[in-house]
Amino acid sequence: MINASIAQLRDALTAGEYTAADLASAFAERIETIDPSLNSLVSRVAAIEPASANGRLAGIPYVHKDIFCAKGTRTTCGSRMLADWVAPYDSTVHERLTQSGAVLLGKANMDEFAMGSSNENSHFGAVANPWDANAVPGGSSGGSAAAVAARLVPFATGTDTGGSIRQPAAFCGVTGIKPTYGRVSRYGMIAYASSFDQGGVIAKSAADCALVLGEMAGFDERDSTSADHPVPDYVAGLDESISGLRVGIPKQWFSDALEPAVGDAVSAAIDELRAAGAETVEIDLPDADIALAAYYLLAPAEASSNLSRFDGVRFGYRCEDPKDLQDLYERTRSEGFGSEVKRRILVGTYALSAGYYDAFYRRAQKARRLVTEHFQRAFEQCDVIAGPVTPTPAFDRGAHSADPAKMYLEDIFTIPVNLAGLPGMSVPAGFVEGRPVGLQLIGRHFDEARLLNVAHQYQQRVDWHERMPSMAADSANDNREG
């Protein structure tokens, strides 16, 4: 049961092998037993009967990254600022998953306000990687990735602002997809950087991601950034051949910045695509370092604006006994936010300040446009782009805590995709010294169906996505990495 696909679970439910209550209870018991050693969840939700018995996800348990509002549940964003805040309304993502019959079991831990690459920045403590407790699970959707890797749930929601679905998926050996910006509604998804944030899915396989994304995606009039673009049946195209598909390989990504063992694993994965009939072509994407610098100006600038609402007046944390309004603002924000959030607010506010706007923010926007143009030129030569997700496997907990710049470099291959608003995926591609490695697939705008097709065809040839960490393995299905 625990390693079954979502389709297999749905077939078993339909056949009466067990009920939705049985399934929810089985996964809730796993959460109770395994999660204390992971800390992947910040809260648990009592399972209810599926809202739909016939939906494509009817009876399937899941967890939300704790950035999605679900009415009546605590929604913390991993922050002291919202530690006790209970959402008064549902996000569109939650509404749609509920309508499809999915059953919420809890809210996943995350880096505070989605700012981080290791899930060490949460007010509720760090999350452990199920493959190695000494390693980080990635971030900011580290709780979601760890929960899926440990088979605590069949799928989890995540958000990706600069790689926060793909990087933890790679570090935890699961599949994750960040759709095109605007494909999934941001209504009820608490904002970090509004022009980058995008909701997506983390699951065991591309087939599972296709099923869930199909239920989440679509236009939402309540979100001004939502794209009114038709949503195809992602599942229907999974089995199409990739023979003749042109796969672009960015030559700059296979450089000294990439750990050799990771490069070898990614190259082996690309060889599997060739064996399935795809053709590879070398492409030019020279802007990874420029993209990184631009992102860490633009995203903090947007965060400084978005997070100004947390002032102790309307909702969230409020300092005790403020002397006056100024003291209320200063102590509420200094006590309510963690160090990484405060660092980014300071950077963003500085970049937007008078006298520096043109020197920093405007130039970063020009760099963003340049990155987008280079992707457009690359897609004139290829249908999808393949490369590494991260330059290294999961690093040790605490390894980068004293060096934020080194932490930021973990996002060097994921951030360009967010700057251009493109869809991207991470697919399990092997191990380096027992820690998972991911293959990144990038597509044209609104071409998630092709990405899912390529990922699924790859997963028909390998079994990396089927492997479980020993802590998660069922006695009858012990399929662990050596």
Query: Mind telling me the catalytic residues?
Result: 65, 140, 164
Partners of 330 in the β-ladder? none
Helices (H), 35-141: 92-99
The sheet carrying 41-44 orders its strands as: 41-44, 103-108, 61-65, 155-159, 199-203, 175-178, 424-432, 435-442, 384-388, 246-250, 279-283
**Whole-number Cα distances in Å, 433 to 104, 168, 440, 472:** 34, 17, 20, 19
DSSP-assigned letter for residue 173: T
Residues in Cβ contact with 98 at an 8 Å cutoff, skipping those fewer than 6 apart: 51, 90, 104
Angle at the Cα of 459 from the Cα atoms of 453 and 463, rounded to 5 degrees: 170
Spell out the SS3 assignment of 363-401: HHHHHHHHHHHHHHHHCCCCCEEEEECCCCCCCECCCCC
Helix, strand, or coil here: 211? helix
Q: Which of 307, 309, 335, 308 has its CA nearest to residue 321?
A: 335
Contact 64, 190 (CB under 8 A): no
Torsion, CA 454, CA 455, CA 457, CA 458, rounded to 10: 120
Q: How many helices (H) and strands (E) does the chain have?
A: 14, 11
Helix, strand, or coil here: 193? coil
Distance CA 21, CA 56 (A): 17
Distance CA 355, CA 351 (A): 9
Q: What is the CA radius of gyration of the chain?
A: 21
Helix, strand, or coil here: 203? strand
Total Cβ atoms within 10 A of residue 271: 11
Residues in Cβ contact with 84 at an 8 Å cutoff, skipping those fewer than 6 apart: 74
Torsion, CA 391, CA 397, CA 399, CA 402, rounded to 10: 120
Q: Which of 201, 258, 262 has its CA nearest to residue 234?
A: 201
**Whole-number Cα distances in Å, 306 to 75, 192, 299, 344, 348:** 17, 7, 10, 12, 11
